[in-house]
A and B are shown apart, each in its own frame.
Chain A
Amino acid sequence: MITLTIDDRPITVAEGTTIWEAARTLAIEIPVLCHDPRLRPVGVCRMCVVDIGARTLVASCVRPCESGMKVVTGSEKVERQRRTLTELLMSDQPEVCPKESTTGDSVLHALARRYEATGASLPRGAGRPRDLSSKVIAVDHQACILCDRCVRGCDEIQGNDVISRSGKGYGTKIAFDLDAPMGASTCVSCGECMAVCPTGALVNKPVSGPIVPRRHLKQVDSVCPYCGVGCGLTYNVDVEQNKIAYVDGRESPVNHERLCVKGRYGFDYAQHPQRLTKPLIRRAEFYPKAALSPEVMGNQERGKGRRKTALVSYDDVMPAFREASWDEALELVASRLLAVKKEHGPGALAGFGSAKCSIEEAYLFQKLVRAAFGTNNVDHCTRLCHASSVAALLETIGSGAVTNTFAGIAESDVALFAGTNISANHPVAASFFKNAAARGTKLIFVDPRRPDIARHAWRYAQIRHGSDVAFYNAMMHVILREGLIDEAYVRDHTTGIEELRALVDRYPPALAAEICGVTAEMIVDIARAYGGAKAAITFWGMGISQHTHGTNNARCLISLCLLTGNSGRPGTGLHPLRGQNNVQGASDAGLIPMMYPDYQRVGDPAIREKFEKAWGLPLDPTPGLTVTEITTGALEGRIKGMYCLGENPFLSDPNVNKVRKALTRLDFLAVQDIFLTETAEFADVILPATSYLEKTGTYTNTDRRVQIGRPALAPPGDARLDWQIVAEIATRMGYPMLYEKVEDIFDEFTATTHEYQGLDYPILGATGRLWPAFDREAKDGEQILFGDAYPTADGRAKLVPCDFEAEKEPTSAEYPFVLNTGRLLEHWHTGTMTRRSYALDAISPGPFVEVHPDDLARLGITAGDLVSVSSRRGRIELPARRSTSVARGSVFIAFHFREAAANVLTLDAIDPIGKIPTFKLCAVNVEKAQA
């Protein structure tokens, strides 16, 4: 410890503490332009100089405290220095500061007011240009003071490495890439540079209305509605206009103020003029039911010369519906569902919830289906996401959630990323992974499509599609052969090692190399690094789960982790990165056909009895159908009535042409959503719901962190809260659901669970809690699970050996390419929200297929050409994009775009255990489209 005085006040600080930090603890504010506590200090602005009695003044942000130092923070000499500096900087500022005229919080202008420095005493320099090429950020080089904050924000916080300085001397300026316009650079529009900029050099462009100072707006602390990372953010709301003006990242254990483009700029969808505001009932003349817009009609009826649109055309769809009162609509839904139940039995009904729902909505919805419908046919998009991972995790370690948070990587020396494009799908988590790489953690990526973040990789293995099992078996082979196995851990905490040993024995690296299309050395290298790590953490995504052998893929990763004892300790763990903001919470809430809340088996009589008692009626003892099975059931006429809350299966499920037929065949379909979705075209009744931004609810992120989302806006028109609609339907179906407020539902839910014990709204507060959080006195819930034992019958984890299986649909002469599907950074699933966000749509306006340059050349296709991609199930047309991320012979299409829906092509074969479809692999042909 070091003792010194600052402005005659004594203070004792830890060694290495800077003068600036020490002063802050004494509440002495030293003015600074280039520093922010989140950034590495660089000491370039020289505004924070203080007097320590030396020959020269020192920059307090970089100067460590020394014993006996006598610091004066505001002597006349110091103040003179600061005044001169401010004057120098102000003399070149633009007439109207872009920050002062918007958020009004320019740090430089605040200093200018303090020092009465206008810059008028100096001759002005030649003007510097503005750069308005970015869709979301306006750059004014004239206002830039080269404080380096944006450079560090971009390079060191977000790890995007886009911004740097270029030129020298007075001609120095910040530059994007090799001095490209910002909008044409590799910038991913996360807005970190704008957030840290102390002047008007980088400011938000308005997204949904004028940007004004925060004091004129209402601040709503909430959580981002998009991905499973669950970033804390603050909405700055113009209450009068019922609009969000802009978003700030919020300090939270999840994101530490960081955001990505979706969280920061994708908030205006809720104000889109196409919001549903009145219940709608299908007009009699639009029966028998069929799709209404050309894009949804499909190939046969398609076209008639009309250009395909990015959004459902309300002009096409609305004439088929008439507005109705809530009473009429709800009565119709309840009576029609009851009629189906009466005529065909409860098993003819089904419900699709959504992972975008809150925990309360998910809980209530599954309760509605189980209690009021009388069936377990309730599922949601987890089936399309991590169903296989959860199946494997429940089977092996007895719990489907992550065993460590993603931030746990900070303590890992090796991190394995299997089939996950994190910088697009979990961008803020990815920034922490890049930070770890910068600190020396070895990042290993295994993926058939090279993820952008692979430039931070220690090794990247571009394996063939679907060859995962062979790859990880070979890794285990090497680990066993070279004695890298954690014998004690395997002995004390697992079962099945001999069976696993016998199996992986048959997978030497040379064999796997042949199957996977990588070198044996690569496999050995990666196995040695992973096996030799002090702490290795394992992340995976849809590249693992969305396969007909998705459960096997996950089992292999779990075995790999257990074999090396990389579980239950800091820096280790299994982390299937959750896609949706509440896919963890919705699953926890029982929105799955075989389990009640908290993964309690429907088939277990004791458990069923518990729920029958709690819910006050007998329950169906047989596990229900999954998403994919419900669609098949509808097609085959076994499912007659459906209630769809927030899901859009028409675009999100595989084999669109099959889904279309299935939806057409339903006797009754109720769709509850905020916009007309493709699925709603088949609805009998459409119920206008509230968006995330208009309601209160809890959401569990990928880390198991339960957080409260709070309403920023008032709902439009007659739109109602989702939970109230569900409760009303249940009541009208003869199962009264009476709740006063959303907290009551949360409390009822937690009472049925073990893992959510100890959680309630007051304790969740601003930053939420990780579950389990039984100790209410603790600062947070448990970060690392299963240090002692696993929640299985014998307390041990099970090693499940898996053989490599060939693909269900191999390429052929007719369909020579492998199609891989996934998401883009700017868009969310079926685009219902993001394609209605001005900024996200502007940055990423339409579909494309990524093709390797060699394949393009071979096919005589130029990048930008319209190509036709066809599979055994359908055909779409979209422009080709040149990309070396995909391997030769494979193509990639994002599934967000209705005008070229990737799921027209995908195969609806499913994993036998997880029942997840194989979105990641089917055979297609690519050819130049007919003009």
Chain B
Amino acid sequence: MLRQTKYLSSRYNEPDGWSLSAYERDGGYKQAKRVLGGMTRDALIEDMKAANIRGRGGAGFAMGVKWSFMPWPPKPEKPHYLVINADEGEPGTFKDRTIMEKNPHSVVEGCIIGCYGIGAHTAYIYVRDELHLSKERLWGAINEAKAKGYLGKNPFGSDYAVEVFVHTGAGAYICGEETALLNSLEGKRGEPRLKPPFPAQAGAFGMPSTVNNLETIAIVPTALEMGGDAFSKLSELHNLKDGGSRLFGVSGHVNTPGVFEACVGLTLRELIYDLGGGVKGGKLLAVIPGGSSCPILRADDLVSAPNEKSPLFPWNGKSVLDVPLGVDTFRALGTMLGTCCAIVLSDQACPVLAMHNLMRFYRHESCGQCTPCREGSAWIFRIMDRIVAGQASIEELDRLSEIADNIMGNTICAFGEGTAMPALGFLKKFRREFEQYILTRGKSSPNRLTLPGHFAGAAE
């Protein structure tokens, strides 16, 4: 059900909505002050658990639970760190950027509360290099907060020191992976680490750390103000422990692409037609629900969940477009909610060319560490090249699946699966289209619409 909200985005259209005065006018920093003013860590974490904030970066892990993983009490020789992942680089995803540019103080306040929650005194916000305005706004907010005495040795007069720093990435997609991000933050090459140890045991600089997505930390003051349980109940999926409201993005073949804030429970149909203004140029063919790593869904797919225990049971037999966008519901659909930023393909687009383009991206962005991913992503693209050029045979589609299968679960980080899953998804959902394309050497391709943005030039 579509219920738009205005927690993070209330001042998005105000010219100075990002300033401290605007933020404080709307009640900003009251929660940080309350937390540092005497709230116990246990109470804070319990409230956050009750809020059921599922990580907004793609994996959907429960934030409160993640905070509780930190060793307690902190040892003096092992300082804790809060690390905010704002390396927003997933194709089709552009939600965190709006928060940094238009509501940076929510991030700073979230960092203060987060630091307290995990026993840290330092937070690093790792921002993708290209987002210059975001960095500027974050630094501006940090400096404003510091000038007001909200950061530093004695924030709000308390003795719980908090410092927040912005750290600039260097433009590698892999640095959005939390352990690669930690390496990059330490000045090392951005490559994922073996787990265990997990960041809560040995994260930034080898110290216990929590890595949260930027939107995740920005919503914390809101959840605290409402009370965790009340916040969670905004969501239609409260019972699935997927609470609150969040940002949804939509791009591709829609009339009004953009970022919208709404309660969890929104469906793809609502996102595309009510918020995205409907499909542009043709009929809806397919949707990549949450960033390019999520397997694609066809518009004509129906839910098959006859088992009562399935989170999808209530939507059994209905269109996938009517399933509420949730971490567990979309996992059950065989795809992922990801970053909740959907990419829409109309039937004027060619799925073969779309996959070709995506695979170029993954070939370029694999960190190069694990053989299956580095070599596999290259070979997938090379075979896609042959298909697009009309040189491939049908058998090579099986080769593609085999290589993609070889990547699945066979790499240090999830990037490998992030490459293989969309490839396997395209091959499964569009097998007929791929075969037609190969047999007709591309003449079957509609290719009357190229995709905007990241997808431009797919058939070069």
Q: Is A714 an interface residue (CB 8 A)?
A: no
0/1 per residue, B94-135, Cβ < 8 Å to A? 000000000000000000000000000000000000000000
Q: Is B194 an interface residue (CB 8 A)?
A: yes
Contact residues in A for B379 (Cβ distance below 8 Å):
88, 91, 122-123
Contact residues in B for A85 (Cβ distance below 8 Å):
371-372, 375, 406
User: Contact partner of B371 among A89, A122, A125, A169, CB < 8 A?
Assistant: A89
Segment of A160-168, A280-288, A355-363 engaged in the interface with chain B: A160-168
Question: In whole Å, how far is B420's beta carbon from the nearest beta carbon of chain A?
Answer: 11
Cα A43 to Cα B382 with chains together (Å): 26
Segment of A44-52, A128-136, A569-577, A836-844 engaged in the interface with chain B: A44-52
User: Contact partner of A62 among B194, B362, B364, B374, CB < 8 A?
Assistant: B194
Contact residues in B for A311 (Cβ distance below 8 Å):
none
Q: Is B378 an interface residue (CB 8 A)?
A: yes
Cα A45 to Cα B374 with chains together (Å): 10
Interface centre among A43, A85, A170 (most CB of B within 10 A): A170
Q: Which B residues are within 8 Å of any A CB, using their own CB?
A: 172, 174, 189, 191, 194, 362-372, 374-379, 381-383, 386, 399, 402-403, 406, 408-412
A168 engages B367 (CB within 8 Å): yes
Contact residues in B for A57 (Cβ distance below 8 Å):
409-410
20 contacts between A and B (CB under 8 A): A33-B371, A46-B370, A46-B372, A46-B410, A56-B409, A57-B410, A62-B194, A85-B372, A88-B372, A89-B371, A91-B379, A125-B378, A146-B368, A146-B369, A147-B371, A168-B174, A169-B378, A170-B364, A172-B366, A172-B368
User: Contact partner of B366 among A43, A46, A147, A170, CB < 8 A?
Assistant: A170
Question: In whole Å, how far is A169's beta carbon from the nearest beta carbon of chain B?
Answer: 4
Contact residues in B for A121 (Cβ distance below 8 Å):
399
Q: Is A290 an interface residue (CB 8 A)?
A: no
B371 engages A88 (CB within 8 Å): yes
Contact residues in A for B365 (Cβ distance below 8 Å):
168-169
Cα A92 to Cα B412 with chains together (Å): 23
0/1 per residue, A81-99, Cβ < 8 Å to B? 1001100110110000000
Contact residues in B for A91 (Cβ distance below 8 Å):
379
A44 engages B409 (CB within 8 Å): no
Task: Tell me the residues in window 9-56 of chain A with beta carbons closer than 8 Å to chain B beta carbons.
Answer: 33, 42-47, 49, 55-56
Contact residues in B for A164 (Cβ distance below 8 Å):
189
Q: Is A192 an interface residue (CB 8 A)?
A: no
Q: Is A678 an interface residue (CB 8 A)?
A: no
Q: Is A145 an interface residue (CB 8 A)?
A: yes
B374 engages A169 (CB within 8 Å): yes
Closest to A91 in B: B379
Cα A85 to Cα B367 with chains together (Å): 17
Known: A46-B411, A145-B371, A164-B189. A170 touches B406 (CB 8 A): no
B377 engages A123 (CB within 8 Å): no
Question: In whole Å, how far is B324's beta carbon from the nearest beta carbon of chain A?
Answer: 26
A45 engages B371 (CB within 8 Å): yes
B374 engages A172 (CB within 8 Å): yes
Q: Is A447 an interface residue (CB 8 A)?
A: no
Cα A165 to Cα B191 with chains together (Å): 10
Known: A84-B406, A123-B383, A170-B363. A44 touches B412 (CB 8 A): yes
Question: In whole Å, how far is A10's beta carbon from the nearest beta carbon of chain B?
Answer: 26
Contact residues in A for B191 (Cβ distance below 8 Å):
165
User: Contact partner of B410 among A49, A147, A172, CB < 8 A?
Assistant: A49
Extra inter-chain contacts (5) besides given A168-B174, A168-B366, CB under 8 Å: A123-B386, A146-B371, A168-B365, A169-B364, A170-B377
B403 engages A84 (CB within 8 Å): yes
**CB-CB nearest 10 A-B residue pairs:** A56-B409, A172-B368, A170-B378, A88-B375, A169-B366, A169-B364, A84-B406, A44-B370, A44-B369, A45-B371
Cα A162 to Cα B395 with chains together (Å): 44
Q: Is A684 an interface residue (CB 8 A)?
A: no
Contact residues in B for A379 (Cβ distance below 8 Å):
none
User: Contact partner of A43 among B377, B383, B406, B412, CB < 8 A?
Assistant: B412
Contact residues in A for B370 (Cβ distance below 8 Å):
43-46
Closest to A172 in B: B368
Contact residues in B for A92 (Cβ distance below 8 Å):
375
Contact residues in B for A33 (Cβ distance below 8 Å):
371
Cα A763 to Cα B174 with chains together (Å): 56
Cα A88 to Cα B369 with chains together (Å): 15
A56 engages B410 (CB within 8 Å): yes
A167 engages B368 (CB within 8 Å): yes
0/1 per residue, A143-175, Cβ < 8 Å to B? 001111000000000000000110111111000
A88 engages B376 (CB within 8 Å): yes
Cα A869 to Cα B364 with chains together (Å): 55
A165 engages B189 (CB within 8 Å): yes
Contact residues in A for B386 (Cβ distance below 8 Å):
123
Closest to B392 in A: A123
Question: In whole Å, how far is A122's beta carbon from the nearest beta carbon of chain B?
Answer: 6
Cα A122 to Cα B409 with chains together (Å): 22
Question: In whole Å, how far is B263's beta carbon from the nearest beta carbon of chain A?
Answer: 33
A89 engages B364 (CB within 8 Å): no
Contact residues in A for B376 (Cβ distance below 8 Å):
88
Contact residues in A for B399 (Cβ distance below 8 Å):
121-122
Contact residues in A for B371 (Cβ distance below 8 Å):
33, 44-47, 85, 88-89, 145-147
Contact residues in A for B364 (Cβ distance below 8 Å):
168-171
Contact residues in A for B402 (Cβ distance below 8 Å):
84
Contact residues in A for B410 (Cβ distance below 8 Å):
46, 49, 56-57, 81
Contact residues in B for A145 (Cβ distance below 8 Å):
371
A169 engages B372 (CB within 8 Å): no
Question: In whole Å, how far is B186's beta carbon from the nearest beta carbon of chain A?
Answer: 14
User: Contact partner of B172 among A42, A45, A49, A168, CB < 8 A?
Assistant: A168
Cα A91 to Cα B363 with chains together (Å): 17
Question: In whole Å, how far is B139's beta carbon from the nearest beta carbon of chain A?
Answer: 28
Cα A169 to Cα B191 with chains together (Å): 11
Closest to B196 in A: A64
Cα A574 to Cα B319 with chains together (Å): 79
Contact residues in A for B372 (Cβ distance below 8 Å):
46, 85, 88
Cα A62 to Cα B410 with chains together (Å): 13
